[in-house]
Every structure is written in C-alpha cells, then in structure tokens.
Amino acid sequence: MTPGRLPAVRDDLALVDGYHSAQVDVDVRLNTNESPFPPPLAWREAYLAELAAVPFNRYPDRRARDLRAALATAHGVEPGQVVAAKGSNEILQALCLAYGGPGRTAAVFEPTYALHSHIARVCGTTVHIGERAADLSLDLDEVRRVLDEARPAITFLCTPNNPTGLVDPRDVVEAVLELAPGLVVVDEAYAQFAPWSALSLLAEEPDLPLAVTRTYSKTWSMAALRLGYLVAPPEVVEACESVLLPYHLDAASQIAGRVALRFSAEMEARVAAIVSERERLAAALAGLPVDTWASGANFVLFRPLAMGATEAWKGLVERSVLVRDCSSWPRLAGCLRVTVGTPTENDAFLAALREVLSL
C-alpha cells in the first residue's frame, strides 16, 4: 500500500480543539452538569413498555411528529415551530449549517458555551468574539459594537450562561433582538433552573428572528439518550429540517421525550430540589476563600484565591471528587465549575474543598 494517500484536514479545522471533559474514576462526579437524580421509575416503566412495541426493522418517524406535537402543547406553540434532534448540539449544528457557512459570521460573547464557536467553525462560519463585562454579564455596548462591526447572520446567547451560570434579564435579550441583523439563538439548556425563559418572547411574537434551544439532558435526567429541541418561527424550523440527515432521531429517543412530558410534576420537583441545593452550595462557598458568581443554572462557577485552579482540581480528584477545570477557557483563568449534586455529594465536595484550600 502507498502511504500518505489521505488528504489533509481542512485548513480551517487544523487548529480547532474538540470539547471534552475529563473522564476520571471517582466517587463523586460533579463535572458535566448532569442531573444527580435518575428519571422517575414510572417514566422508566412507561418508556420500556412503549419501547417493547417498536418495529425495530423499520425506520422511525422521520419528522418525529408525535414528539413535536407533545412539545408544542407543552410550550403553547404550534408543532411547526418545533424540531427535535440528537441533543441540543445537533440543533446548534443545524442552525449553523442553515444560516452560517462560508462568507457568513456568528457572534459570541466570551466566556460562554464553547460549542457555539466550535460548531460554527466546523460548519465553515467565521466567529466574531465579543467580551463580557468585568462581572461576566452581557455588556450591551459591547454587543452593539460587535453586531455593528460583524453584521452576523447568527448571534448566540446562552442564558443561564454556561459556564458562569448568569441569567440574561428579559430586557437585555430584547435589546439584543433589536440590535441583531440576523437570527438570535438563545441556548436554554438550563432554563428550567432560571426565573424566566425567552420562550415567553416567542409566545408573544411568534415571528421574532429568535430560536430557543432546549435539552432533555439536565432537568429531565436523560443525558444518556441525547435529546434536544428547538422552538422558533416555522421558517427557521424548516431551514433546520433541510440540513438534518434523514432519520436522524431514533425511535427510542422520540418515545423517551414524549413519555417524559407526562411527568412534568416530577421534573419540577427535581428542579426545586436542585435549586435548593444550589443555594446551599453557594452559601457554603461564600464562606470559603473563593470568588463565586451568582448562578441560575445547576452549577456554580468559583475561583480559589489561595492556589491555582489546576492544583485545586487535582486535590479534589485525590479526594475522589471531580469538578470541571475551566481555567484554560477564555476569560476564566483560575476558575473551576461544580455541578450541583445530591446533598450527600455536595457535602463530600465541600468537605474535600475545605481540605484542599487549607493545605
């Protein structure tokens, strides 16, 4: 065989890093913002009962019509305003394929969710990066500057923002919508933990150039199934459908998502429990030598003051607790992020952190 016959990777991807979190064998894993609780047992039983009837030799419903109808009912919109996919990341990719690409620009405001930039670049979209304010909130003067300069086809917001946890107020999102020359994508992976949702804007004005993405991974305790969805004007949904691969969403995920909506009360109880633990965790961190940021999500960003983030991260791992080291991310030098776990897991994290910080 003749060596060297593979073509080179695209020039614009050669230096693009992937998005990965450490996989370490520990007793307490608080690094990927998963739900600490499994889905309700009644959901599991209902899901497995329907799964048993799936004709596995046949392709699934290509348009996931039953799931979309159920989601539309849950959010008070029309089915034509909803599209579902393999996690909200596939939705983000579809939006970038439909509205980004060569010659087009996406705007992000760092620090924010790394996959907004990563997916945009993978899809050939130029990424224009704006800065957040010193307190990591969205700075509307900076937003205005970036949007005037870049004229992006896509403007990404993330609220609550990952990894900071900060929630963009309604008036801020409305201001961005007024300023943006193209589509505004609001990533709401953690919206159920926050006091408001941009879905309320679409309910009032269905034709807004606004796309809201959601996931089942966090509040619905279904990270293993990789399911997300988009609520947007019908023309945005149609554009996403035009670039998604045929039969991209399997029957098992469609069933899981539809059945989950029957258990909204149980989901809301889990959200309330996590929010309560988040506040307890934040209060405990306030008494330690760390900087913290107010969070509307299921995690808390913090910066140890007496040592570097990587040193603190290693100290926690040595005590069998895993958090996310964000210190290499844009504008987050020295920062770590901890997912809210069960009360027992949170106690273990706090005890380990106190030991590490006292060294």
DSSP string, 124-166: T-EEEEEEPPTTSS--HHHHHHHHHHH--SEEEEESS-TTT-P
Domain boundary at 221, 248, 263, which?
Answer: 263
| Domain housing 160 | 41-263
Considering the domain architecture, whether residues 321 and 351 belong to the same structural domain is answered as yes
Tens place of pLDDT for every residue, the chain, 359 residues? Answer: 566 677 877 777 654 555 555 678 899 999 999 999 999 999 999 999 999 999 999 999 999 999 999 999 999 999 999 999 999 999 999 999 999 999 999 999 999 999 999 999 999 999 999 999 999 999 999 999 999 999 999 999 999 999 999 999 999 999 999 999 999 999 999 999 999 999 999 999 999 999 999 999 998 999 999 999 999 999 999 999 999 999 999 999 999 999 999 999 999 999 999 999 999 999 999 999 999 999 999 999 999 998 999 999 999 999 999 999 999 998 999 999 999 999 999 999 999 999 999 96
Per the structure, how many domains does the chain have? 2
As a whole number of Å, the end-to-end CA separation of the chain is: 57
User: Which residues have CB under 8 Å from 199's CB, separation 6+?
Assistant: 75, 188, 191, 212, 231
Is there a contact between 251 and 225 (Cβ–Cβ < 8 Å)?
Answer: no
Considering the domain architecture, whether residues 198 and 103 belong to the same structural domain is answered as yes
Q: Give domain status of residue 204, yes or no.
A: yes
Considering the domain architecture, whether residues 255 and 196 belong to the same structural domain is answered as yes
Is there a contact between 284 and 204 (Cβ–Cβ < 8 Å)?
Answer: no
Domain boundary at 263, 286, 311, which?
Answer: 263
Q: Give domain status of residue 10, yes or no.
A: no
Domain boundary at 198, 230, 263, which?
Answer: 263
Q: Give domain status of residue 346, yes or no.
A: yes
> For residue 113, what are its two tokens?
């969710």
Angle at the Cα of 160 from the Cα atoms of 158 and 164, rounded to 5 degrees: 90
